[in-house]
Amino acid sequence: MESRVLSRATTTTTTISSLRRSPLENHQNVSFISLKPIGAVGEGGNVIWGRQLRPALLLESSNAPAGLFAGKKEILRPILATASSPAEGSDSAGEAAPVRFFDRYPALVTGFFFFMWYFLNVIFNILNKRIYNYFPYPYFVSVIHLLVGVVYCLVSWAVGLPKRAPIDSKLLKLLIPVAVCHALGHVTSNVSFAAVAVSFTHTIKALEPFFNAAASQFILGQQLPLTLWLSLAPVVIGVSMASLTELSFNWTGFISAMISNISFTYRSIYSKKAMTDMDSTNIYAYISIIALFVCIPPAIIVEGPQLIKHGLSDAISKVGMVKFISDLFWVGMFYHLYNQLATNTLERVAPLTHAVGNVLKRVFVIGFSILAFGNKISTQTGIGTVIAIAGVAAYSYIKAQMEEEKRQMKAA
């Protein structure tokens, strides 16, 4: 009995051993196929016949002798699928992928962005001033500018162009000061546009770099070189010359333009504190929404009674209901689109190009507004405007050079 049990145990052990024996031990001639990797897969695994396996698990699950894979550092890799054809977008046939138009002609595309930025800005300023000639209510028109832009943003988000970026309470608190300054600067700019000639408002707004430099020096504590301050002297002198002999001058237009400069300066300061990873299109959309809510109460308080009493009826009687609504809609669209195009354009170019572009934009707006409305300007006003623009150009060039040097130092 005892011998029979031992015999059966031996037989069972032998059978189990043979079952556990790796196929590699049963075949002397083993060949390996050199396979190509198909790229990184999650957790470092390899895709083999549609499954994701990890090399460590493959080795642990095999019972091959310890010395069998000695000296083999490379783990078997799957064969790259060769079933893909050129029709499926593969480059295996040696055909190069087609180069997009935007990648082939980048300079042409950037030039188109600049053209559209200037074109929309000029059209906005001309149409805006024409509305004020028969409807002098800048607070209400400012609300319409932002309202049309907000509707445009909401529709763009609804169709996913662009996809709406989520916002939290922390980012909202950072954007509120930016939006308040944006709203104040926008309204006071429109008050100035309604009160004086467009060319004169833009001449006053040429002082914005002076306020930016002063804020950087005395509020942010950034030490600015003497050359930068000297470049601002022609700006101040030129604006002073233009203001003294400007035929359309009045204190409402002048003070409003100055408040606009200060507001946009503080907007720049708060924008630096609100730096975020969110794209500029979504940031501008959120700022527009907040600014709209900021602009509505002053418009109701300052202009509400006059609008209800005779403002709207007078405008409709002068140009008709269809033209009045159409003008308000299109001036809002041009306002939003030129700001969005400006952002998209400035993202494509270097700081120096950006600075030159801003100066040329102001020259275009002043020149075309004079031609469109036939504004008469004195010789002294013309000379002062040219001096102011030249000073802005010099300041922008020096400032851009400073920014480029900082960027290179950080890169190094």
Please report whether residue 262 resides in a domain: yes
Write the Ramachandran bin of 32: left for phi over 0, alpha for psi from -120 to 50, otherwise beta.
Answer: beta
Q: What is the pTM of this model?
A: 0.69
Q: What's the rounded mean pLDDT across residues 167-193?
A: 93
Cβ atoms < 10 Å from Cβ of 98: 8
pLDDT band at 96 (very low <50, low <70, confident <90, very high): low
The single-letter DSSP state of residue 163 is: P
| Domain assignment present for 20 | no
> How high is the pLDDT of residue 36?
41
In a domain, 72, yes or no: no
Residue 218 lies inside a defined structural domain of this protein: yes
Q: How confident is the model at residue 411 (pLDDT cuts 50, 70, 90)?
A: confident
In this structure, which long-range contacts are made by residues 312-318, counting pairs with CB atoms below 8 Å and at least 24 apart in sequence?
314/134, 314/135, 315/134, 315/135, 318/134
pLDDT band at residue 352 under the 50/70/90 scheme: low
Percent of the chain with pLDDT over 90: 33
Average the pLDDT over 337-363 and give the result: 76
What is the domain count for the chain?
1
Q: Is residue 266 part of a domain?
A: yes
pLDDT of 216 higher than 60? yes
CB neighbourhood size of 3 (10 A): 7
What angle, rounded to 10 degrees, do the helices at 106-134 and 351-373 form? 40
- Segments forming the whole domain that contains residue 304: 108-409
CB 222 within 8 A of CB 153: no
Rounded-to-integer distance, Cα 334 and Cα 95, Å = 44
Which pLDDT score is estimated for 212?
83
Among 121, 192, 130, smallest CA distance to 343 is for 121
Q: Is residue 240 in a domain?
A: yes
Kindly tell me if the per-residue pLDDT of 353 is higher than 90.
Answer: no
Which amino acid type is present at position 272? K
Q: Is residue 403 part of a domain?
A: yes
pLDDT, residue 405, reads: 83
Share in percent of the chain as helix, strand, coil (round to 5): 75, 0, 25
Specify the pLDDT at position 313: 94
Lowest model confidence (mean pLDDT) among 120-129, 167-176, 345-354? 345-354
**What confidence category does residue 153 fall into, taking pLDDT thresholds of 50, 70 and 90?**
very high
- pLDDT at residue 247 in the model: 78
**Phi, psi at residue 299, to the nearest 5°?**
-65, -40
Residue 183 domain-assigned (yes or no): yes
Distances from the Cα of 232 to the Cα of 51, 66, 214, 355, angstroms: 68, 80, 11, 15
Range of 63-77, 140-154, 374-388 with top mean pLDDT? 140-154
Q: Are 231 and 286 in contact (CB under 8 A)?
A: no
pLDDT of residue 242: 87
The winner for highest mean pLDDT among 56-60, 125-129, 244-248 is: 125-129
Residue 91 has pLDDT above 60, yes or no: no
Find the Cα–Cα–Cα–Cα dihedral 146, 149, 151, 156, rounded to 10°: -150
